[in-house]
Amino acid sequence: MKLALTLSAVLGVLSTRVECFVSSGGSSLACGARSNKLATNGAFVQPIPSRCVATAERRRRSGDLGMSTVVVPSDFKLPIGIAAFGLAITGLGNVGAGFPVSVVGLLLAFQATRVKFEFDDVAMEVKIGETPDELESSGENAFVGGESRWNYDTWTNWEVYPSEKLPILMYFKETQTKPEGQIHFFPFIMEPDVLLQEVRARVPQVVK
C-alpha cells in the first residue's frame, strides 16, 4: 500500500509537471505548486519535510566564492524508466494505465534534450537549448509567475524525493517568488550527482 501510494504521488506530480510544460508552451520546466498540497489521484501529498535547512550566513557564502557557471548535463534514466514502466503495464493488458505513463516518460525524455539547469554565482536558472552555447532564458513562468531563476539566498530548504540514492523529484522552497514561500518540484532529467554537488556548494545546508 505504501509503495502504491508513493508511485501514485510521484506520477501525479510528474503529471502536474507535464501540464506545466503544455501551459507554458514547453518553454519552462521548473514550475511550482500553487498551494502547500498537491492533488494526486484524490490523495494529497504534503510538502516534503526537509532535513536540509539552509542558514542565512552559509547561504551568503555561495555569492562570495566566485564559482564558475555550470550547466548540468542531461540524464535520461528517469524518462526511460518511466516509459519502460508504462510499457510493462501495457504488456500486462492495462493499456488505459500504461499508455499515459509511457507518454509522460517520452515527454520527459524530450524535455531532457532541451531543458537545462544552469548555476551561476547568484542563482539557479532554467534555460532552453540543446548545447551550453545555445542556451536562452525560458521566459516567464506561466504557472507561478516571474522568471525561472531563483537566487540562492532566497532558498529556505530543499530535499530529494524519495532519496538521494533513488532521485526522482527535487523539491525546494524559496521566498523570491512570494514572501511566504513558494515550493517547486522538478523531475531529475539532469545528472543527479552534478546537480546535487552544485546545490550543496552554493546552498550549504544543516542536517537536522
Domain boundaries, the chain: 2-207
What pLDDT does 185 receive?
Answer: 93
Q: Pick 208 or 30 by higher pLDDT.
A: 30
Q: Pick 133 or 2 by higher pLDDT.
A: 133
Task: Say how far apart CA 105 and CA 87 lie, in whole Å.
Answer: 10
Per-residue model confidence as pLDDT tens digits over 103-150: 999 999 999 999 999 999 999 999 999 887 788 887 777 667 678 999
- Grouping H, G, I as helix, E, B as strand and the rest as coil, residue 65 is coil
DSSP state of 77: H
What pLDDT does 205 receive?
Answer: 59
Helix then strand then coil, in percent of the chain rounded to 5, is 40, 25, 35
- Grouping H, G, I as helix, E, B as strand and the rest as coil, residue 168 is strand
Cα 134 to its chain centre, rounded Å, is 21
pLDDT at 20 over 60: no
Q: Pick 37 or 159 by higher pLDDT.
A: 159
Per-residue model confidence as pLDDT tens digits over 173-199: 999 999 999 999 999 999 999 999 999
